[in-house]
Structure 1
């Protein structure tokens, strides 16, 4: 699927020149300070302005504040009837970035839920991480679930997949522009901010202290090997934030998954593309009988599938 726009996709965020310069200087005189600055940047989301069209969708939604520990986050809800779909944005993103898909979901009779993850939106924070994203999905499930489908963009795709492995049930899963391996995410981050291999190794070591030595267990490419639900992977060949090869890795590791490839949309425009959203709706509509399952049936089917894969 190709986009005929002439504008070449660019990264979602361009690293300010002072960051690589400062870190290179710090590395020469104080590697520990260089690592501290790298960690600070790695865990701090960037608060972007919300476009007017997204603010309109925020105002249309029922909003509620939930908590992960002592961190508040916002849940948006559109619609009151029909199968529930939860949408989870990526790093430095917003729930209303899915507004084009939300519009289509409502038209097709779904309820749409979205979050501004911990550290984002109305409740910005200096520090958040993948675990907070995962716990937010679990919290929303406890409050509003179960959901018929989970849709995640970038880090959100990693979060929803991990949430399923931790017990959040769903019948369909869609990941858009999501990274396959945590090690690749760290490597790409270090290249962007201009740190040496030594600092990259130190950063990875610090992450293992937070997530555990088996940090790769959170990687999407690892998680999907155990998933037993239909999945759609959407990725653009011109994604400047997450390389297209990441989607190919996930697809190879995910039994029964479908890969939807686009070109010319980049990392974020893909969320607003009408053809992409049409394909997502078509994927959700397949096996339509699953939509009519009761909450109890969804829970039981999930437990049955989970036991099956845990015993393999």
Structure 2
């Protein structure tokens, strides 16, 4: 494996104590193992804000917004002065300033960006969350800060935007970067990282469906895509080791009006700061 490939997979490593705990629980009880895995699956890691994002954080008007449906408060960042607004949505274990390079480009284009730390992320309340809480946050943000011209989302943020559009978020265009798709694929990838047998993905899926009372695949990106009529730009890297590129092709297949850009050697996160990617987004949003 090359150094570049090693670096791109480092973020996939599960801490050893968690793997040891999982291994012990697996020998004791599948039910306990499933509950432990479910807790891990819904608990994001809070990373420190890197220096490259400080100027966005420092120059944003920040506010705390209650999401009534969740009874949780989230941190909101309004960056730029324009009345024309664009919604930015980070991915799992991300934060509201993570799409900083895209935000800078949008502000230079004459927009204000509205982003947020999703529940249990960054400076927002809570320790656990799930995609439905991302969607609820997006829809409340539209009520309080909308209308939005466009929406740009990374990873789970991309999935959440497609689902929010299906639930009547109104934007003229959307951009999704490194978006996941099929929920069972996501769960299978997760249990693989925990070094659990693949059947635990099905056990986890059943656990969440009992808990939330609906099929998880209702929220698959391609399922939401069937009801999305606006133009959507899909960007995905060939060497994304966190979300397989097949997700991009499948979402593209189900969208009525979409363009697909495939990059190489940018992985899952470096793609957010790549100049060519940012130029492509700018060009797409400027098109009539």
Q: Report the TM-score, using the length of structure 2 for normalisation.
A: 0.94
Residues 1:59 and 2:58 are matched in the alignment? yes
Q: 1:20, 1:195 within 8 Å by CA — same for their partners in 2?
A: no
Q: 1:150, 1:170 within 8 Å by CA — same for their partners in 2?
A: yes
SS at match of 2:64: strand
Residues 1:28 and 2:57 are matched in the alignment? no
Q: 1:292: which partner in 2?
A: none
What is the Cα deviation at residue 81 of structure 1?
1.8
SS at match of 1:39: helix
CA 1:7–1:198 in 2, change beyond 3 Å: closer, same or farther? Answer: closer
Q: Distance in 1 between matches of 2:3 and 2:25?
A: 40
What is the Cα deviation at residue 179 of structure 1?
0.7
Q: Report the TM-score, using the length of structure 1 for normalisation.
A: 0.87
Q: 1:37: which partner in 2?
A: 36
- Runs of 4+ aligned residues of structure 1 deviating over 6 Å after TM superposition are none
Q: Distance in 2 between matches of 1:26 and 1:89?
A: 32
Q: 1:171, 1:229 within 8 Å by CA — same for their partners in 2?
A: yes
Q: 1:7: which partner in 2?
A: 4
Q: 1:224: which partner in 2?
A: 225
What are the ranges of 5 or more consecutive residues in structure 2 without an aligned counterpart? none
- Count matched residues: 283
The Cα RMSD (Å) is 1.6
Q: 1:208, 1:214 within 8 Å by CA — same for their partners in 2?
A: yes
SS at match of 2:4: coil
What are the ranges of 5 or more consecutive residues in structure 1 without an aligned counterpart? 288-312
Q: 2:173: which partner in 1?
A: 172
What is the Cα deviation at residue 34 of structure 1?
1.1
SS at match of 2:11: coil
Deviations 1:190-245 (A, max 9, x none): 11111223432221101112443432121101111111100000000111110111
Q: 1:252: which partner in 2?
A: 253
Q: 1:81: which partner in 2?
A: 82
Q: Distance in 1 between matches of 2:10 and 2:125?
A: 22
Q: 1:18: which partner in 2?
A: 17
Q: 1:234, 1:261 within 8 Å by CA — same for their partners in 2?
A: yes
Q: 1:93: which partner in 2?
A: 94
Q: 1:177, 1:267 within 8 Å by CA — same for their partners in 2?
A: yes
